[in-house]
Structure 1
């Protein structure tokens, strides 16, 4: 992923409220557009980097469970 894209995504959502961040995530998922995936990846990277080991384990459990459907 291009570093400029990562910085652009972070710049575009920096300072957003939780409601705005949720709207961004929901809109990206509901649009089902491939071009939104890199932005969601950047947001996940921020979440991952700022999560405790327990939170990471919980995310991995959720991901594993969701992929088994």
Structure 2
């Protein structure tokens, strides 16, 4: 039996998806069952690794701004 790590299993699951299907995977995972969060993390990791430092800085700034907006609620544990 071959052991596949979680990252590879997630990549294998979406690797052949079209752009529209990838969008559906992301949209269908956001704000729903927390079991999808590791998958989103793997997809974000792929984006992060392919981004240059300027793009990474933009993502961090965007996240920081979102986290520090007045009235922003932190996700509640389910």
Fold shared by both chains (TM-score > 0.5): yes
What is the aligned residue count? 66
Higher RCO, Cα 8 Å, sep 6+: 1
The RMSD of aligned alpha carbons is 1.3
Q: 5 Å matches for 1:13-32?
A: 13-31=14-32
Higher helix share: 1
2: CA distance, partners of 1:64 / 1:17: 31
Structure 1 unpaired stretches of 5+: none
Query: TM-score w.r.t. structure 2 length?
Result: 0.77
Matched position secondary structure for 2:29: helix
Query: TM-score w.r.t. structure 1 length?
Result: 0.86
Q: Does 1:68 align with 2:33?
A: no
Runs of 4+ that moved beyond 4 A? none
Structure 2 unpaired stretches of 5+: 70-78
Q: Tell me which structure has the larger Cα radius of gyration.
A: 2
